Structure 1
Amino acid sequence: MSESADTASGEKVFADIKVDSLGEVNDGDLDAGAKYLIDHPQYADYTPEEARKLLWKIDLMLIPMMTIIITLAAADKIVISNAAVYGMTADLKLVGNKYSWVGSIFYFGYLIMELPANLLIQKLPVRKTLFTSFVIWNIILMCMGAAQNFSQLAAMRFLLGMGETFLFPSCSVITAMFYKKSEQPFRTAIWFSGFSSIITGILSYAVGHANTKLANWRLLFITFASITLFFTAALYVVLPDSPMSCWWMNDREKYIAIHRTKENRTGTKNTNFKRYQIMEALKDWKTWVLAVFALCNNISNGALVTFAGQIVSGLGYSPLRTTLLGMPTGVFMTASSWMIALPTFFYPKKFRTVSAFTICLVPLICCVLMMKLDGKISLLIAYYFFYFYWGPYVCMTAICFANTAGHTKKSVVNAVNFTSYCVANIIAPQFFISSEAPGYKTGYHAILGFTSGSLVSIATYGFGCYMENKKRDEKYGPAEDNVDLDLDALDLTDKEKEKWFRYVW
């Protein structure tokens, strides 16, 4: 089913596409990457050395930029916690549960825009869509510094949530387009890291020393938005819409970039909206297990993003010291992601859920310790390790993209996953009742229960994928022996490709 070409060094590479059999296929069914390979067969003689050099080039161009924008977006989002410590709650009279609703309402906007954003990312150029949403997002963030009351602040937080909806799906789509499944976990762990707390801590500490007519919390929003707006312009220059239109790769490199990721079996780009893939996504058990996981795991995220400053200051630290003590949380978040990602170098397509399950035990234990310990230092250490909740979320999100083929199906699965993310972040702050500060007994009990649910979800998903692979192997034999290269070039789902598609677990 494949055509080979000899390179100058004697190495064989494969075009893997039969032009005569696919030439009559409707462009709406043909994956855009497969079409590029068909149109440029003269580049099929590339060598493994060329592919390695190109991977290094892709890493240098994509990973730093995606890391920066994800970090700044997260920092700008969680700066609300430091703003509260700097007097925002008093100035805007956020009494009772009003502050909790300021945290929750962000995710109402996120929730409403989730599915439209994913479908727009599929239909429109990724870079231009992300750039436009990010510009609007930054303007709204800057305006938050001018809020005069709860209503104005809540309205802008709602719009901020709508604007951020485009960010993570865009970076995930770009990662899926440019990297093999075996390469995705560690790259995702890098750009989806927790460095935001370090940025937030440094800038918040600096702003806290400012002596201006503006309240420090207002200056905080304006400063963060101004910095992020600069990198938004850089985003437009560096990030590509797809390998086919990437300006910093020549035609040969574009071919190599597309061809080297064909083994993913998930395609590169297709803008054709397919209703049957929506139904398949909604009927797929994996969609809902991941949705339950995202809901359970992000209760921790919703609580810590909104109440991090209050939790640390509640231990007896001053506002300025609180901003500094928040910085190490990013190190723990990043460490948990990398600890899960590192084993993929040795087992690229299995045991990821085992690693995620193991790391997920850490926040479960820390939740108990936060309710039992009394010492200031011991509570702070337990609080830091609490942030290990992040690693399993990064891991399972990367698995979601690796295990879903069909571009419409992928958009729907991602939308369901992030809907759960939003619901979790909406309800989580409500468990942290102001009258229970600084102990927040109800909040920690909620996190304990939901984290247990995360563990069950991870185990269910991993075991289910393992059994599905075993079933397919017994029915069809090894995946590599059944690849239909003609059909694999089409925008088909993982279910339609079951003879040669195997799930990462």
Structure 2
Amino acid sequence: MSQPDKKEMEPKSDIEVGLGESQPIDSEAMTKAGIDANEASKSKALHLLANRQIDFDPDSPEAKRVLRKIDMRIMPMVIGIYLLQLIDKNSLSFAAIMGIKTETHLTSSEYSWLGSLVYFGYLGGEIPATFLMQRFPLAKYLGIMSMLWGFIVAMHAVCHDFGGLAAMRFLLGCVEVCTTPVVIYITSSWYTRREQVTRVALWYTTSGWASVIGGFIAWAIYQAHSFRWQGIFVLYGSLTFVFGIIIFFFLAASPTDARWLTEDEKAIALERVRNNKTGTEVWGFNKDQVKEALCDVRFYLIFLVMVTTGLPNGGLTAFGPTIIAGFGFDTNKTTLLSMAPGAAAVVGTGVALLVAKLTNRTITGIYTVLLGCVGVIMMLAIPSENYTARYGGYVLTLQYPICILSIVAFMTAGVGGTTKKFAFGVAYQLGYAVGNIIGPQTFRAHEAPNYYSAKFTMLGSLIVTIILIAIIGLVHWRWNRKRDNQDALDAQNGIMHAHVANEEFTDQTDFNLRAFRYPL
């Protein structure tokens, strides 16, 4: 693709769309390039671009206006649903210090299993969810699943024993598992590689805001004399159900699905992400892409890195407030102190963005995990009587999940092809589930309140995480270098490669697109 013309555009004037010769869908050329011509014929993006020739300038007022419109429509819904997912997931940990263990007669072992069972639901629901995401409109599917999981969260309030709670936790995992893959896919469909870094950071800051908002709501509900833990589940579930309705009617998964964009604006939105080379639409299931994903070393690296990051997360999600209480704080202070790690995570995400701009995604991921390692060491090494400093270590430990920004960026900007992207989403979610299943089981009742085995396990997991992130970055660097060298050799030998019109919006994988370069 030639470089865009940088000519000056008049404010509020339309970018020239529909001028010049169109580029009709060339089925024969696509078939030769290994593209499914039948699926291509169904692509809204290809049909839209085939009938329009656009003189696109990414710095024009019109392009910037379209970006602002996208931000106002997409980001609030993406941020909102991700925030509610995390708040709902953390609700059990706050219920633990509000009497749910006593009132439902839970043993320490049973409570640990409640923390793990939601991720057994992930394991059970991931494959069906991946299948359904390629069969139904993505935004509608997410809206329905959000309403279902909101109902399930609210139903926690009527459970009276371990059996009922266990069933709810498992079902919650089954329906909630689609959220992250859908959010990742939508982000890659709407935003350029450069924009994805800040947008992923924005919706990921909800991991911090979930602690702040969840902690404040838990503190407020704790002031009541009854219906404390039940109130948390009813409130969170109701909010999620209502937001699911909003998602169903108003979220657009890709530019061609956006009713709030004109046809010309849709073309501009597509041109904005052309150089991503990862497509914007959900194409049909492609078994060859599954095989390619299974032969891609990053598929297994993503799975492993999500196991090693999920393991500490599982324990901290289920036992976070319990750990704080173990430092010597009462329930009232514990609910308030649960807010600080979230606020620190929001600030830490901003710092990580700065580090990413100065270096790259790989170094940023390693930096945040190193902070987590220091935090765990503080909790282990500082004497128990200095509970304020140990609490500081706990806050610092929760900087490590920010590394997910790098891992998600590796997927949004580094994997092409609908089925391959969803396959990587399966690896991501399954690894996350396995880690979160193991995590709560490392907290042994007889080690309370220090839980030394759990903390040593966290430290080991984080060290392995650093190694895995470094390997992914090294793989991307090596592949880019190999492609650059091959292009230079081809140019030297006068070898030309055919280009299919609008191939950036076809269901091509990163392995098949010669011009594709991987994020570092």
Deviates more, 1:96-105 or 1:328-337: 328-337
Identify the residue that residue 355 of structure 1 maps to in structure 2.
Answer: 364
| 8 Å CA contact retained: 1:110, 1:161 | yes
Identify the residue that residue 34 of structure 2 maps to in structure 1.
Answer: none
Q: Is there any run of 5+ residues in structure 2 with no aligned partner, and where? A: 31-36
- Give deviations 1:207-234, integer Å, cap 9, x for gaps: 111234xx31112111211222222222
1:451–1:412 distance in 2 versus 1, CA, 3 Å = same
| 8 Å CA contact retained: 1:177, 1:242 | yes
Match runs of 1:54-93 below 5 Å: 54-93=66-105
Q: What SS is found at the alignment partner of 1:183?
A: helix
Q: Is there any run of 5+ residues in structure 1 with no aligned partner, and where? A: none
1:9–1:427 distance in 2 versus 1, CA, 3 Å = closer
Deviates more, 1:16-25 or 1:179-188: 16-25
Identify the residue that residue 486 of structure 2 maps to in structure 1.
Answer: 475
- 1:370 is aligned to 2:370: no
* 1:121, distance to aligned residue in structure 2 (A): 1.9
Out of 216, 236, 239, the position equivalent to 2:228 is 216
Out of 435, 440, 451, the position equivalent to 1:424 is 435
* 1:171, distance to aligned residue in structure 2 (A): 1.2
Out of 234, 249, 257, the position equivalent to 1:245 is 257
Letter in 2 for 1:476: D
Identify the residue that residue 500 of structure 1 maps to in structure 2.
Answer: 515
Match runs of 1:122-137 below 5 Å: 122-137=134-149
Q: What SS is found at the alignment partner of 1:267?
A: coil
Q: What SS is found at the alignment partner of 2:281?
A: coil
* 1:43, distance to aligned residue in structure 2 (A): 5.0
| 8 Å CA contact retained: 1:17, 1:38 | no
Identify the residue that residue 447 of structure 2 maps to in structure 1.
Answer: 436
- Give deviations 1:244-291, integer Å, cap 9, x for gaps: 121211111111111110100101113211101001101101111121
- 1:22 is aligned to 2:22: no
1:355–1:21 distance in 2 versus 1, CA, 3 Å = same
Identify the residue that residue 33 of structure 2 maps to in structure 1.
Answer: none
Identify the residue that residue 118 of structure 1 maps to in structure 2.
Answer: 130
| 8 Å CA contact retained: 1:5, 1:44 | yes
* 1:448, distance to aligned residue in structure 2 (A): 0.9
1:130–1:190 distance in 2 versus 1, CA, 3 Å = same
Identify the residue that residue 290 of structure 1 maps to in structure 2.
Answer: 302
Q: CA RMSD in A?
A: 2.7
Taking the aligned partners of 1:317 and 1:362, their CA distance within structure 2 comes to 24
What's the TM-score, normalizing by structure 1? 0.92
* 1:360, distance to aligned residue in structure 2 (A): 1.1
Letter in 1 for 2:506: L
| 8 Å CA contact retained: 1:197, 1:326 | yes
* 1:85, distance to aligned residue in structure 2 (A): 0.3
1:346–1:381 distance in 2 versus 1, CA, 3 Å = closer
Match runs of 1:300-319 below 5 Å: 300-319=312-331
Identical pairs, percent? 29
- 1:490 is aligned to 2:506: yes
1:49–1:144 distance in 2 versus 1, CA, 3 Å = same
- 1:139 is aligned to 2:151: yes
Letter in 2 for 1:503: Y
Taking the aligned partners of 2:296 and 2:19, their CA distance within structure 1 comes to 33
Taking the aligned partners of 1:494 and 1:284, their CA distance within structure 2 comes to 11
Q: What SS is found at the alignment partner of 1:182?
A: helix
Taking the aligned partners of 1:466 and 1:393, their CA distance within structure 2 comes to 19
| 8 Å CA contact retained: 2:149, 2:240 | no
| 8 Å CA contact retained: 1:28, 1:270 | no
* 1:69, distance to aligned residue in structure 2 (A): 1.6
| 8 Å CA contact retained: 1:278, 1:409 | yes
1:275–1:479 distance in 2 versus 1, CA, 3 Å = farther
- Give deviations 1:359-397, integer Å, cap 9, x for gaps: 210111111111111211101111101111111012212
Letter in 1 for 2:346: T
* 1:404, distance to aligned residue in structure 2 (A): 0.3
Identify the residue that residue 384 of structure 1 maps to in structure 2.
Answer: 395
Identify the residue that residue 410 of structure 2 maps to in structure 1.
Answer: 399
* 1:494, distance to aligned residue in structure 2 (A): 0.5
Taking the aligned partners of 1:231 and 1:409, their CA distance within structure 2 comes to 29
Out of 450, 459, 465, the position equivalent to 1:448 is 459
Identify the residue that residue 460 of structure 1 maps to in structure 2.
Answer: 471
Deviates more, 1:483-492 or 1:395-404: 483-492
1:478–1:145 distance in 2 versus 1, CA, 3 Å = farther
* 1:344, distance to aligned residue in structure 2 (A): 4.6
Letter in 1 for 2:400: Y
* 1:55, distance to aligned residue in structure 2 (A): 0.7
